[in-house]
Structure 1
Amino acid sequence: MSSIPTLQTERLVLRAPVMADYPAYADFMASERSRMMGGPHLRWAAWGMFCSDVAMWELYGHGALMIDLRETGECVGQVGINHGPMFPEKELGWMLYEGFEGRGFATEAGRALQDWAFETLRLETLVSYFDPANEKSMAVSARLGGVRDHSATPQDEGDVVFRYFA
């Protein structure tokens, strides 16, 4: 995993996923909180998604990073750049574990990974796919400079797509 970067912000450390992260990840994916991401998911499906998040680093040069609080080291969620057969374009996505919303962590982590992708990968654009009911994440997207793109191909029928430009 040496090719997976560690990114730091004022309050966060974004780092490579490790096996110790899987139980909390699987719990999130099995919960109602994952409904905006096609969930709740069975544990075996969560394992496949977790493994995909890691494998994308080898396959595409980007993937998911866990979000830790700098002050305590506690893992509060994940941010990633998704791609592959299930994603029409490279997608900036995030999820926060219960109790960590509303503090700007998703925006801070999303901004750090977005900046890394534009600077390091030289991407010109990224998108985020949202369930139309996911107003909180669409607000994060807007804070990250995302604009609604009605012409973009959605990941799932009915998705709202926001686009970011370098």
Structure 2
Amino acid sequence: MPEAGAMTIRTERLSLRMPEIDDFAAYAQIMASPRSVGMGGPFDLRAAWGMFCHDVALWQLFGHGALMIELGETGECVGQVGINHGPLFPEKELGWFVYEAYEGRGYATEAAFALRNWAFATLELPSLVSYIAPGNAASVAVAERLGARLDSIASRTDPADLVYRHLAS
């Protein structure tokens, strides 16, 4: 398993790195906003902190977790990508979000593609899923750009969620 702070994946434009305490303020802000509705929010500070800690703890517990998305040129944090698991997720989930000011630039797709490929190569998973709230057209578009396909029979915690399946190639 990666040591704390040691996991980094680089792409053409991005650096995906372990979360740091300085990332929490922006994380808590998006979780408190209406943009978190598709993740079950909005969340208060206590719930956001628990989710942030969950994202970090997954590395110790499962050998995967969340990575913050940084612009390679500036080091600016623009969002998060992660592989979720645990009792709240029927399967390992590839998830992502980008802060509002950075949407529409392909960062979520680029980051999710890199982490998905890392997961397939390193964790040797046969597949991952992405749980997406109905009406979240931006996330559906990311999943489809990644080659994921709707899986109507996949298990899900929220029966309303769309489940997109990513297969290892």
Instruction: Check whether TM > 0.5.
Output: yes
Q: How many residues align?
A: 166
Task: Give the superposition deviation at 1:138.
Answer: 0.6
Structure 1 runs of 4+ aligned residues shifted over 3 Å read none
Q: Deviations over 1:46-85 (max 9, x none)?
A: 0000000000000000000000000100000000000000
TM-score (normalised: structure 1): 0.98
Name 2:162's counterpart in structure 1.
160
TM-score (normalised: structure 2): 0.96
User: What are the within-5 Å matches in structure 2 for residues 141-160 of structure 1?
Assistant: 141-160=143-162
User: What are the within-5 Å matches in structure 2 for residues 86-125 of structure 1?
Assistant: 86-125=88-127
- Partner amino acid for 2:138? K
Task: Give the superposition deviation at 1:154.
Answer: 1.5
Task: Give the superposition deviation at 1:143.
Answer: 0.4
Q: Which of residues 30, 42, 48 is equivalent to 1:40? A: 42
- 1:138 and 1:71 mapped to 2: Cα distance? 28
- SS of the counterpart of 2:90? coil
- Partner amino acid for 1:81? I
Determine if contact 1:79/1:109 at 8 Å carries over to the other structure: yes
Name 1:133's counterpart in structure 2.
135
Q: Name structure 2 gaps, 5 residues minimum.
A: none
RMSD: 0.9
Name 2:24's counterpart in structure 1.
22
Q: Name structure 1 gaps, 5 residues minimum.
A: none
- 2:20 and 2:128 mapped to 1: Cα distance? 26
Task: Give the superposition deviation at 1:155.
Answer: 2.5
- 1:133 and 1:37 mapped to 2: Cα distance? 12
